């Protein structure tokens, strides 16, 4: 028999209910308490056999809602913004692909170069929001790509100069920054600022073959953990011995292939799925290869999601490492096929961009 309590628990694990609850909070403590329910929402969605893409969008929508509410709470004490701004998400959140264990990647785009007083206001805003997100369960970015860094709080003109430098001078640091910031998406504030910066950056890529070649080389750095005889190659040392890294060996190379294929066509899409759809049938990617990569991305993401839900249920932190012996024969077979698809896409990039000589 279904009780009123059962119905209440289901309602409270509903993503829409969670976002509505976030919008009613007036303190960081309240937001952190609501955010603590997010793993339960993810577990419920996984139990209902939602796709990995759908769950990622739910998670991302919640992260966006938390960010917007933190900005609103900050402004209640700091006062109105001294100038127009846009808070942007980067990385997985920017791509609508955030999930359990995702850290923060964010920045601020300002309408104009700030005065000293305005710069102080935006610094206080960034500190409050980043600290608040950390309390809500989103760790700080290990690479410090967050709005708390002064270099990631810039005017539109300054951001456009950054992208021009990164794309025309693709050095190691420039490539890292370009890849992360090319996934930027407006979360709160004046969205036109983010759209202007992103459109400027995207427009530079099709005419920059050297930058594309470097992106192609980066897309081959993370090799799928598949041996010559199609057996799994597991970690041999450390805390994750005998495990596969589903992110580094599976999801990340697909993200990078999709980013390059889409940007080469001039597309402004940010999610991996949309990028693959936009690039399908172009000189960057055939319809068949795009569909295969999309299927591989969803399957690997689904396997990781189920693994992370089991970890959370057992009281552990979610990670990307899975012991292949814990998978069913069906899952192992299809995981190998997904890794083989990635390897084929990487070989195609090597041939097209001649990365062996760049």
Alpha-carbon distance of 234 to 242, in angstroms, equals 5
pTM: 0.93
pLDDT of residue 5: 40
User: Which of these, 227, 236, 232, 229, lies nearest to 332 by C-alpha position?
Assistant: 232
pLDDT, the chain, mean? 92
Angle CA(51)–CA(55)–CA(59) in degrees, nearest 5? 170
- 66 backbone dihedrals φ, ψ, rounded to 5°: -60, -45
Residue whose tokens read 């936009």 = 278
Q: What is the pLDDT of residues 297-341, one digit of tens each?
A: 999 999 999 999 999 999 999 999 999 999 999 999 999 999 999
Q: What is the pLDDT of residues 222-246, one digit of tens each?
A: 999 998 777 899 888 888 888 999 9
pLDDT of residue 358: 53
Residue whose tokens read 């597991």 = 234
- Residue 61 near residue 187 (C-beta atoms within 8 A): no
pLDDT category, 166, cuts 50, 70, 90?
A: very high
pLDDT of residue 170: 72
| Strands of 185-189's sheet in order across | 153-155, 106-110, 85-89, 185-189
């Amino acid at each position: 028999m279904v009780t009123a309590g059962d119905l209440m628990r289901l309602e409270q694990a509903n993503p829409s209910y969670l976002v509505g609850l976030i919008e009613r909070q007036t303190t960081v403590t309240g937001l952190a308490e609501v955010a603590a329910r997010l793993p339960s929402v993810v577990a419920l969605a996984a139990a209902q056999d939602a796709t990995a893409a759908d769950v990622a969008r739910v998670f991302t929508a919640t992260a966006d809602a938390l960010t917007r509410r933190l900005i609103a709470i900050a402004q209640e004490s700091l006062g109105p913004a001294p100038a127009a701004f846009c808070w942007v998400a980067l990385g997985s959140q920017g791509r609508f692909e955030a999930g359990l264990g995702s850290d923060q990647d964010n920045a601020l785009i300002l309408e104009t170069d700030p005065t000293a007083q305005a710069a102080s206001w935006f610094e206080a805003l960034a500190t409050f929001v980043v600290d608040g997100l950390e309390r809500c369960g989103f760790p700080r970015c290990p690479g410090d790509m967050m709005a708390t860094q002064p270099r990631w709080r810039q005017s539109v003109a300054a951001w456009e100069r950054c992208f021009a430098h990164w794309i025309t001078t693709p050095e190691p640091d420039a490539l890292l920054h370009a890849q992360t910031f090319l996934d930027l998406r407006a979360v709160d504030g004046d969205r036109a600022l983010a759209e202007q910066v992103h459109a400027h950056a995207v427009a530079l890529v099709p005419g920059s073959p050297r930058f594309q070649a470097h992106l192609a080389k980066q897309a081959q750095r993370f090799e799928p953990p598949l041996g010559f005889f199609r057996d799994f190659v597991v970690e041999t040392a450390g805390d994750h011995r005998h495990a596969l890294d589903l992110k580094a060996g599976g999801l990340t190379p697909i993200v990078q292939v999709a980013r390059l294929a889409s940007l080469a066509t001039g597309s402004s899409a940010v999610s991996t799925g949309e990028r693959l759809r936009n690039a399908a049938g172009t000189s960057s990617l055939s319809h068949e290869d795009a569909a295969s990569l999309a299927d591989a991305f969803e399957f690997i993401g689904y396997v990781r999601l189920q693994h992370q839900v089991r970890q959370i249920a057992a009281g552990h932190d979610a990670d990307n490492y899975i012991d292949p012996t814990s998978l069913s024969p069906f899952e192992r077979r299809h995981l190998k096929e997904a890794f083989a698809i990635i390897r084929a896409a990487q070989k195609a990039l090597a041939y097209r961009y001649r990365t062996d000589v760049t």
